[in-house]
Amino acid sequence: MAAAQITAFPRRKLALIIGNDNYSKTYNKLNGSVKNAKKIRNLLKQIAFDVTIHTNIDANMMELIQNFCEQIDNGDLVLFYYSGHGCQVNGENYLIPIDDSNIEAETDVEDIGILVKNILKRLIEKNPSYATIAIFDCCVPYNLQNPTSSTPMVEDQTLGEIVPISGAFVQLICTAKQTDRTDQATNTDNVFNKHLIKTLTRKDVDITNIFQDIAMDVQQESNQTRQILFMHGLLSGGKIFLNKVSKIIPNVPKDAKWKFYAKTVAGDGRCSSTSRRLYCPKGIHVNKYQYVYIADSLNHRVMKFTRGTNTPRRIISRNISGYGPERLCGPSNIIYDYQSKSFIISDYYNQRVLRWCQNNSTCTETIIEGSDYFGLAMDDEGFLYVSDTGRHEVKRYRPGDHDGIVVAGGNGQGAHLNQLDHPTYIFIGPDKSVYVSDTWNDRVVRWDKGAADGVTVAGGQGKGRDRSQLNHPTGLIVDQFGTIYVADYWNHRVMRWYRGAAHGERIVGHKLLSGYKADQLNGPEGLAFDRYGNLYVADSNNHRIQRFRIEAD
């Protein structure tokens, strides 16, 4: 596989976890494999893996593996973790299900267990173009008894070297001779699993370096007496990340829920130009300190509200519309550029995009001008995306580029899949696709990189308030799972659309009515998550910013 096909954010991350303890022979029972499997499951779920786990399974293990493989689409990142018994017989590697009561010396070798190479083949058949990672924790030796002899057929022999078939990138195995049953008997992690759990989900470290670090840590802790047996496949295959962390894409639990009653964190429900009030706020940005930056549209300014204080700060413009380095006219959006440590602002009615250097209200620079620039987004590589409601398109700009290239729409105003109609808010998803609130078409459209047409991923069923419909979609966020969060302006609600779903679900806002109460919205626009998963909504026609607290598990 060419290294160029490796991307930082694969389309999906799937994991199959198996842990077996309860083998039929007393001397083969384990005491930590199920526990280790559950720990790995919990770790992977924290970094957005869709995890399937099975424990203490018998001879139907291959059937369960095949069922998991049916979920795989080509291009997925797939991880297989097995903790339990394995053994090598006649040069072949087998995993042993717990239904091993009939495994004896005269048993046909094909009945000993499940061939590792067959498992890898199944995993790769559905996914030839991306990474399949296999981790085998088969450290404790499996004793295969001979009923006519005191000498076991297999003793102190675990899996042997696995030569990866094409598409299998990693096999990581702990050595049998150097591991101990004491770890399992006392229900403590063996040294291999200890460092696997500590290291596996490190942020922004490619998988090869992760496993090299695990091997080094195991050797150092054991004074070179324990080693990782084999590691193959990734040293020359390009970088693959289990936990590539984005500064842009929020890490929201898959089935999160938010309290219906919000706290107002900016504004007070009445419009005016005083420092404590807002007038039709639109785009918002929330930083790691929970400071809220607001495009206070009809006050023609950008405001900063600091958590825990009652003193907001006006950071750009002076409540009077105008054109100049210290004037705005109807700003519609604000985002943060992590590379240049500056803010990007769409000065909508002035038909320009500005860069503002933080903490210096006079340091503004026009970086794009000449059309109706409304929505802003940025990817992790520093490319800027801008929606143009007049030209019905989205362009991508390289740093320092004033022209840009069309990446969505650009074929005139319309409702065909190669067109947009008044695109407003935009977001760059974990698959590097451009997501667009195609506002006057009442839909959210995803444009994959280089695509000639978009794909409707939310709404698109006409204007309405049914779960499959939107009415003037605005604020837009896509999380690490590809789940879409969209402000449904005239339905006065925020909707969540799981990837591939035919309909969405309301997560905040009243079921039917607009209003100013703590559980109601009136014309929601900009959306943002903070690092804890709390949801912020620019409740535009109520002239306030609402924070909906995420509910604890």
In 9-38, which positions are buried (b, 16+ CB within 10 angstroms) versus exposed (e)?
A: bbbbbbbbbbbbbbbeeeebbbbbbbbbbe
Tokens for 74? 């080509």
Angle, CA of 116, 180 and 28, to the nearest 5°? 60
Percent of the chain having pLDDT more than 70?
Answer: 83
* 103-140 per-position pLDDT tens digit: 554 444 456 678 888 888 888 887 776 778 888 888 77
* 283-312 per-position pLDDT tens digit: 999 998 999 999 999 999 999 999 877 678
Report the pLDDT value the prediction gives residue 44, as an integer from 0 to 100: 92
What is the pTM for the complete model shown?
A: 0.72
Q: Please count the other Cβ atoms lying within 10 Å of the Cβ belonging to residue 116.
A: 24
Three-state DSSP at 223 gives: coil
CB 540 within 8 A of CB 521: no
Query: 36 to each of 51, 120, 345, 383, how far by Cα in Å?
Result: 14, 21, 48, 41
3-state helix/strand/coil string of 338-382: CCCCEEEEEEHHHCEEEEEECCCCCCEEEEEECCCEEEEEECCCC
CATH 3.40.50.300 fits 13-234, yes or no: no
| Mean pLDDT of the region 84-102 | 79
Domain 258-550 classification at class level: mainly beta
Report the pLDDT value the prediction gives residue 113, as an integer from 0 to 100: 79
CB 85 within 8 A of CB 94: no
Report the alpha-carbon distance of residue 333 to residue 38 in Å, rounded.
43
Half-sphere exposure of 36 (CA within 13 A, CB side): 32
* 213-256 per-position pLDDT tens digit: 888 888 888 776 666 656 666 554 567 888 888 888 888 888 89
Residue type, 331: P
* 467-493 per-position pLDDT tens digit: 999 999 999 999 988 899 999 999 999
Report the pLDDT value the prediction gives residue 188, as an integer from 0 to 100: 40
| Domain ranges (residues) in the chain | 13-234, 258-550
Residues 6+ apart with CB under 8 A from 512: 465
CB 229 within 8 A of CB 161: yes
Tokens for 268? 């007070």
Query: Which DSSP state fits 336?
Result: E
